[in-house]
Every structure is written in structure tokens, then in C-alpha cells.
Amino acid sequence: MEGDIVQMGAYIGAGLACMGMGGAAVGVGNVAGNYLAGALRNPSAAAGQTATLFIGIAFAEALGIFSFLVALLLMFAV
């Protein structure tokens, strides 16, 4: 019975952790959208900033991956 409560808590926690992925989605969308807005205003400068775009996306996405990882840890490793 005790194990069942732990399991329930883990599953609820995993579901809550998945909400972090929404934040990552907002972040990645923000980065890409602002890049596009800037690129359309000044297309000549856009090519040089592709690397920065990908670094920004990677940083934002990493946090979503962390929340996913937490969810997986709760699901399978607790």
C-alpha cells in the first residue's frame, strides 16, 4: 500500500514536470519568432546570426529536455 502511494506521487510529479515543456516551447517560439522579425527587418544581417539563433534555441530547449528528464526519472527511476 505504501508503494502504491509513492507510485501515485511519482506519476503525478511526472505529469507536473511535463508542464515545464510548455515553457520550453514558449521560449523556443520566442527565440525563433524574434529572430524572424529581426531578419525580416534587416535581411542582410540575418545570415551572420544563424549560429546565435541555434545557440539560443538550444539553451531554451535544454530546459524543456530537463523537465522531460525529470518526468522520466520519476516514471522509471524513483
Partner 1 sequence: MATEPINMELAGKCVNEFGGAIGMPQLCGEWFGNQIFWLVVALVAIYFILSRVALPRIGSVLAERQGTITNDIAAAEDLKVKATQAEAAYDKALIDARAEAQRIVAVAKADIQADLDKAIAKADAEIAAKTSESEKAIAEIRAGALKNVEEVAKDTALAIVEAMGSSADAKTVAAAVDAQMKG
Partner 2 sequence: MAGEAHSEEAGLVFHPMDQFIVKPFFGDGGVSWYTITNSTVWMALAVLAVFALLVLGTSKRSVIPTRMQSVAELAYGFIYKMVEDICGKDGVKYFPYIMTLFMFIVFANFLGLLPMAYTPTSQIAVTALMAFAVFFGVTILGFVKNGASFLGLFWVSSAPLALRPILALIEVISYFVRPVSHSIRLAGNMMAGHAVIKVFAGFAAIAAIAPFSILAITAMYGLEILVSFIQAYVFTILTCVYLKDALHPHH
Applying CB under 8 A, among 1, 37, 40, 77 the residue interacting with partner 2 is: 77
Tell me how far apart the alpha carbons of residues 32 and 59 are, in angstroms, rounded to a whole number.
12
Tell me how far apart the alpha carbons of residues 2 and 8 are, in angstroms, rounded to a whole number.
10
Applying CB under 8 A, among 6, 26, 45, 72 the residue interacting with partner 1 is: 72
Work out whether 10 is an interface residue with partner 2 (CB under 8 A): yes
Q: Is 4 helix (H, G, I), strand (E, B) or coil?
A: helix
Q: How far is the CB of 3 from partner 1 (least distance, A)?
A: 15
Applying CB under 8 A, among 3, 40, 41, 47 the residue interacting with partner 2 is: 3
Half-sphere exposure of 57 (CA within 13 A, CB side): 12
Residues forming contacts to partner 1 in the complex (CB under 8 A) are 72-73, 76-77
